[in-house]
Amino acid sequence: MSSSPSIAIASGKGGTGKTTVAVHLAAWLAGRGHEIQYLDCDVEEPNGHLFLKPEIKAAEPAAIPVPVVDMNRCTACGKCAAVCEFNAIAMLKKPMVFPELCHGCGACTLVCPVDAIREEPRDIGTVETGLAGPIRFAQGRLNVGEPMSPPLIRAVKIRRDPAAIALFDSPPGTSCPVIATVRAADFIVLVTEPSPFGLHDLTLAVETFRPMGLPFGVVVNRADPADERVQDFCRQQEIPVLAELPDDRRVAETYARGELLFDRLPEWRDRMAALWARIEERL
């Protein structure tokens, strides 16, 4: 393989243990001497740092390009406002830009017949990079009140170094920020739990990822021998179950404190080893 694989850790439902799986996989792989990059793409609620505790060395603003109209050149033709699909430019007496609605597509700049529009960056969040022991760490932090996360997710993902195994911690759900995260990943790990909510949201995630043609497998977290509905679903759908992580109050308590599980529950090392072996055979 010319470059190391990238793995997205996602989940249809929030709170199923996506970050738990991602940080433990990262820590285990790093402990085995692999070069690891942890990229937290859950930019609305980035939480991986709470467990990996990286030393942040750099914080760079992430921005999207928004138009600025040179009123001396503008002939008030109105083409920029007409072409904007996002209603970010109003044609009043002259064009008025609403940068918070702009998606940064560049349509207005291209259409302006007199080159009166240039673009300026508008910050939507921050990309922080650093080191968590041997793990190279990056995370996006969306500004509070900012609606648009995919450009920030893309800004996190361009930190990807093909020489390292990359783990993308995805936002929950199946909508556009998730797509922005899992695109171009080599494999998706879907973390779910054996409850009606967990199964329902897993079904939605499968419906989303299958047409994209990306390979994926399922991790059943808080597995309960009395409830095999997720495993049954996976069998029917021919989806590999990569790991079943047992329900254990000690896991919840350790997680609550922001600690890694390996000290208190050393068997989690073996679990991560087994999980990685199952992922690797599918790459």
Partner 1 sequence: MKVVITSSSQTLAEPIDMHFGRAKYFILADTETGHATAHDNAQNLHAAQGAGIQSAETVAKLGAEAVITGSVGPKAFRALQAAGVKIALVESACPGTEALRRFKDGELPVLDSPNSEGHWV
Partner 2 sequence: MKELVVISGKGGTGKTSLTASFAALARKAVLADCDVDAADLHLILQPEVRRRESFVSGREAVIREADCAGCGRCAALCRFEAISAVARDSDGARVFRIDSAACEGCGVCTWNCPAKAIDFPERTCGEWFVSATRHGPMVHARLAPGAENSGKLVALVREQARETARQSKRDLVLVDGPPGTGCPVIAAVTNANAILVVTEPTVSGFHDLSRVLQLAAHFRIPAAVCVNKWDIHPDMADRIEDQARSAGAVPVGRVRYGPEATDAQRRKLAVVEAGNSPLADDIRVVWQNWLDSTAESGEKESR
The site for partner 1 (CB under 8 A) is made up of 81, 86-88, 90-93, 96, 98, 100-101, 145, 147
For position 225 contacting partner 2 by CB under 8 A, the verdict is no
For position 246 contacting partner 2 by CB under 8 A, the verdict is no
Tallying the residues shown for the chain, one arrives at 283
- For 55, how many CA atoms within 13 A lie in the half-sphere containing its CB? 4
What minimum distance in Å lies between the beta carbon of 85 and partner 2? Answer: 5
Work out what residue 91 binds among partner 2, partner 1, none; the CB cut-off runs from 5 to 8 Å by kind.
partner 1
Determine the residue type at 228. E
Work out what residue 231 binds among partner 2, partner 1, none; the CB cut-off runs from 5 to 8 Å by kind.
none
What minimum distance in Å lies between the beta carbon of 32 and partner 2? Answer: 26
Work out what residue 221 binds among partner 1, partner 2, none; the CB cut-off runs from 5 to 8 Å by kind.
none
Lay out the site mask for partner 2 across 190-219 (x = CB under 8 A, - = otherwise).
-----xxx--xx--x--xx--xx-------
Q: Which of 64, 73, 7 is nearest to 34 (CA)?
A: 7
Distance CA 216, CA 240 (A): 8
- Give the range of 45-53, 70-78, 230-238, 266-274 binding partner 2 by CB under 8 A: 45-53
Work out what residue 45 binds among partner 1, partner 2, none; the CB cut-off runs from 5 to 8 Å by kind.
partner 2
Rank residues 90 and 273 by Cβ distance to partner 2 and give the closer one: 90
- CA distances from residue 73 to 43, 95, 106 in whole angstroms, order as listed: 39, 12, 18
Rank residues 151 and 194 by Cβ distance to partner 1 and give the closer one: 151
Work out what residue 267 binds among partner 1, partner 2, none; the CB cut-off runs from 5 to 8 Å by kind.
none
For position 147 contacting partner 2 by CB under 8 A, the verdict is yes
Work out what residue 270 binds among partner 1, partner 2, none; the CB cut-off runs from 5 to 8 Å by kind.
none
Work out what residue 90 binds among partner 2, partner 1, none; the CB cut-off runs from 5 to 8 Å by kind.
partner 1
Report the interface residues with partner 2, using CB under 8 A: 12-16, 19, 44-45, 47, 50-51, 83, 85-86, 103-107, 110-111, 142, 144-149, 154, 171-180, 183, 195-197, 200-201, 204, 207-208, 211-212, 227, 249, 252-253, 255-258
